Amino acid sequence: MTEIAPDHLDVDGVPIAFRRRAGRQPGVVWLGGYRSDMLGTKAAALDGWAEKSGHACLRHDYSGHGESGGAFTDGTISSWLAQSLAVFRRRSEGPQVLVGSSMGAWIALRLVQELAKAGESARVGGMVLIAPAPDFTAELVEPDLTKAQRRDLDKKGFFETPSEYSGEPSIFTRALIEDGRNNRVLTGPLDTFCPVHVIQGMRDPDVPYQHALKLVGLLPADDVTLSLVPDGDHRLSRPQDIEMILAAVEAMVRQAEH
């Protein structure tokens, strides 16, 4: 695979790193998860698929992630959404298929809402959402906060938990949690104005599959596919998972071409 060097886009004074592979439309846009980056297994596989198929591919790192500037602890859903919108609008053209993983699926759903408000719904031809975690701060983090974690949020403005994916702990800030409440999408029917394919592992310890079922229940039924992976975890990065994801992306791209 031909590796692409990162470029940077200034968004509100923060250099946001992105990699853009030129190709035909519809292109694919990768939206990564909380604390992940655009060089992860799934993002790299998507770029490899784009190179082989000749489609455009756009990836970026949120502030405080990967090769982008800014402090991770300054990040919120609103700021990461604003950065994603800026990269999307300024570095892609024509219809795109959004591929959102975990928190990236939340960003993708909010991005579609913001594009719809601006009369730009035609820019999104489809969505593939992997282990989607919309509203995870309000639905998955807040209900399970311990007394010690609540105390840390009040006194320090953040709390830490051990991470299965890194030697460093996961950090959740009060700003992220408060801002998350203002970006909730699971509050009523969701119109994405495009087809959606949700892929969810049933052995996901971070985002229970019931969360994906709740999301699917709010999407227009005629345009939604749900694939449950009985032995799938949160990462869905095994070879068979990647194969399933790329097949879903390819089908969505083909659908968006017509």
* Cα separation, 127 vs 30, whole angstroms: 10
What's the whole-model pTM score? 0.97
Quote the percentage of the chain above a pLDDT of 90: 93
CATH of domain 7-135+190-257: 3.40.50.1820
**Whole-number Cα distances in Å, 76 to 93, 95, 103, 182, 215:** 26, 27, 11, 11, 21
For the cut 90, the answer to whether the pLDDT of residue 165 exceeds it is no
Quote the percentage of the chain above a pLDDT of 70: 100
Predicted confidence band of residue 92 (pLDDT cuts 50, 70, 90) = very high
**Closest-CA residue to 34 (of 83, 89, 76, 85):** 76
Tens of pLDDT, residues 139-158: 999 999 999 999 999 999 99
pLDDT at position 256 is 94
Contact 234, 204 (CB under 8 A): yes
pLDDT at position 126 is 97
- What is the overall mean pLDDT for the chain? 96
HEC secondary structure over 140-183: HHHHHCCHHHHHHHHHCCEEEECCCCCCCCEEEEHHHHHHHHCC
For the cut 80, the answer to whether the pLDDT of residue 166 exceeds it is no
Top pLDDT among 23 and 221 is at 23
The average pLDDT across 52-66 equals 98
pLDDT at position 235 is 94
For the cut 90, the answer to whether the pLDDT of residue 248 exceeds it is yes
Tens of pLDDT, residues 131-142: 999 999 999 999
